[in-house]
Structures are given as structure tokens and as C-alpha cells.
Structure 1
Amino acid sequence: MFTLVGVLAAAAAGVAIWQGWWLPTLVLLAARLAGANLDGAVARARGVSRPWGFVLNEVGDRTSDLLMYAGLVALAARTSGSWVSTTVVWTLLAALAATLPTFASLAAAGAGAPRRNGGPLGKTERCALAVLSTGVPVLLPWVNALVVLGSIATAYARLRGSHAELTGDPERGAE
């Protein structure tokens, strides 16, 4: 239920972002994050956490990210006056880059490492940057660059730590 609430909030946030409504975007993305964070926490606290719940959580999180970025792409097109503008292309690149930290974490988890979170730019920071971009669309190109660089750095940090765990080489994780 929490996952569904998070995804629905992200869908509504996508519309709010597209329209440039920063305050509803803030509230809806906070609800998106609450849903994303409560689903697993409540399941673990109640002792009903299951592997399929993990899958649903991840699919819900990725769907929510895509819905948020759909709103940002629409905002970029609306404010630039074109669906083929540089800002739209960079927003699409930021959306793609934002998937890298999760890919890194899930690939390492598939190899037996714990599912890593953390790093300089996770979903909370992406949501905060989406609110900023909604309120001040002229910042969208700079925010996109930050998301690309921050996502690469986050993926690297997660892979570095996972490499150390999987190889038993703590020195490699500290580099």
C-alpha cells in the first residue's frame, strides 16, 4: 500500500512539475518519499518483509523516478518552447544518469553484496532538486548537470564499497 501511495504521489508530482507548481510538487514528492521509505520499514517492523516485497519496492521506486522525470522533461519543453531543446536533452540525460546508482546497487546485490544506499546524490536529493527546478526553471540546465555528475559519483561510491565487500579487500573500498 505504501509503495502504491508513493507511485501515485509521484504521478501527481509529475503533473505539478510540468505545470511549474513548486509547492504542490514539494508536498507530493514528500509523500512519494514517505511511501518509498515506509513500505520496507513497516514490513520489516511487522515481520512480514518478503523477497517479492523487495521487488515491488524497487519497481515502485524506479516508476516514481520516471514519473518525476517525465514531469521535468515536460517542464523543460514548456519553458524552452521545444521538445527538442538542449534543456530537454539534458533532462533526459539526467533521468538516465539517475538510474546508475540503483543499477550499481542492484547489480552488486545480485552478486551477493548487501543492497547499498547512500552516496552524494540519492532519491531524496533528486526530489529536492526537482522541487528547485520546478520553482526556478531557469536552473534546470545546472540541476541536470549536477544530477549527472552526482549520480555518477554515487554509483561509483556504491560500486567501490560493494567491490570491497565482495572481494574481501577493505582497502579497495576506502580509495
Structure 2
Amino acid sequence: MSFSIYQLKPRFQQLLQPLLAGLAKRHITPNQVTLLAMFLSISYGIALACSPQSKGLWLGLPVFMFVRMALNAIDGMLANFTQQKTAFGAILNEVGDQVSDAALVLPFALVTGIQVPLLIAVAMLALLTEFAGVAALLAGSKRRFDGPMGKSDRAFAFGLLALLVAFQLPAIWLNAVLTIVLLLLFWTLFNRIKRALPHHAAPPTP
């Protein structure tokens, strides 16, 4: 059993409940929220890439990660609340998440001392982990969100990494965090594949 911040999602959703009625009343659609989260992530990533020395942007990244997680939760809640769940919306949500992840993770490559191959390995394994979560559907399972390094956990980890960058800690600490994230991603990938596999019932005894 591995802990993941994703397990706190029900409680987080309760905090967001007051927003739902207001969004629905204004005819805001789930896909609009998904696109907003993606475009804001791309914009923030571009800002970081253009100004990698900006302490303010790095300090603001944990806050932005929290906002992004809130938007990611709201789009699904809104889809359920307004009965607007669609296949297109599900695909858009998955694609949007991966684009947002890349936009917010890759600017770390411009930080002095960061091991770029390590960062790229983390980004690629994160993508593979989410692919495994979706591929579980092909095995007859449900979409897997197992941890310990799911989407919410990565948001926390990179928010922490951004704080280390902002306070100019030695690069060895930055790369240590990335190494831990990489190892936890391997664990997460194993968990998602294992738990997606169908469990065959034991043959009846004669």
C-alpha cells in the first residue's frame, strides 16, 4: 500500500463545492476549465523559460501548482454536476494534463546545476506513468491513479523544487529531489501496471 496525495482528493473536492453552482450558473463548461488550466500552465512555463533567474516566478510556482490542481479537480466535478461528461472531454483532460506537466517541468532544465538528462528522464517517466494509468482501461480495469508519485504528488514535488531554486540551494539538493522523484515514478509505474492486470479467479475445486 503506497500513500499518494491523490487520496486526499475527496476532501479537496469538498472545499471546492461552493464554486460549482456559480460556474454552472454562468454556463462555464468542463472543457473550458480544462483548456484554461492548460493555457495558464503553458503561459507560466513560457514565463519561467524566458526568465529562469526570476525568484518571484519560482516562488509563485507552488501557488500556481495548487491553482492548477484545483482547476483539474473542478473540471471533473463540473462535468458530473452538469451531466456534461463526454468522451472528448475525457481525452482533452488527459492530453491537457500531459501538456501542462511538460510546460511546467521543462523550464527547470534552465536552472544552473540541474542535471538535464535526469530532468528529462523524470518528465518522460511521468508521461509513461500516466500512459500506464490510461492503458489500464485496455486491460478491462479502471483508470489507475495509484501512487506514490501521481499527478498531485508531482505537483507537490516540483513546487518544493521551485522553492529550493528560489532560495538558491546548492544544485546537489535539486538533483537529489529529482532522483527521489524518479525512483518513486518507477514504483508508481510498477503499481499501476500490477493493479491494472485482471485478477483471474481460482478454478473451482472438484
TM-score by length of 2: 0.70
- Aligned ranges for residues 9-88 of structure 1 at < 5 Å? 9-14=40-45, 15-16=47-48, 18=52, 19-20=54-55, 21-75=57-111, 79-80=112-113, 87-88=115-116
Larger Rg: 2
The farther-off stretch of 31-40 and 114-123 is 31-40
Question: Percent of aligned positions with the same letter in both sequences?
Answer: 28
Q: 2:195 aligns with which of 151, 157, 161?
A: 161
Q: Which residue of 2 aligns with 1:173?
A: none
Distance 1:24 1:11 in 2: 15
Q: Is the CA contact (8 Å cut-off) linking 1:22 and 1:132 kept in structure 2?
A: no
Distance 2:38 2:92 in 1: 11
Q: 4+ residue stretches of structure 1 with deviation over 4 A?
A: none
Distance 1:34 1:89 in 2: 30
Q: Is the CA contact (8 Å cut-off) linking 1:13 and 1:29 kept in structure 2?
A: no
Unmatched runs of 5 consecutive residues or more in structure 1: 81-85, 171-175
Is 1:147 aligned to 2:178, yes or no?
no
- Summarize deviations over 1:23-77 as a string: whole Å, max 9, x none: 31122111211122211221012111011110000000000111011222223xx
Greater RCO, 1 or 2 (C-alpha within 8 Å, sep 6+): 2
Distance 1:161 1:87 in 2: 32
Unmatched runs of 5 consecutive residues or more in structure 2: 1-31, 166-170
The farther-off stretch of 108-117 and 5-14 is 5-14
TM-score by length of 1: 0.82
Distance 1:95 1:169 in 2: 37
Q: Is the CA contact (8 Å cut-off) linking 2:141 and 2:196 kept in structure 1?
A: yes
| 1:169 CA drift (Å) | 5.3
Is 1:92 aligned to 2:120, yes or no?
yes
Q: Which residue of 2 aligns with 1:83?
A: none
Distance 1:39 1:24 in 2: 23
Give the counterpart letter for 2:192 in structure 1: R
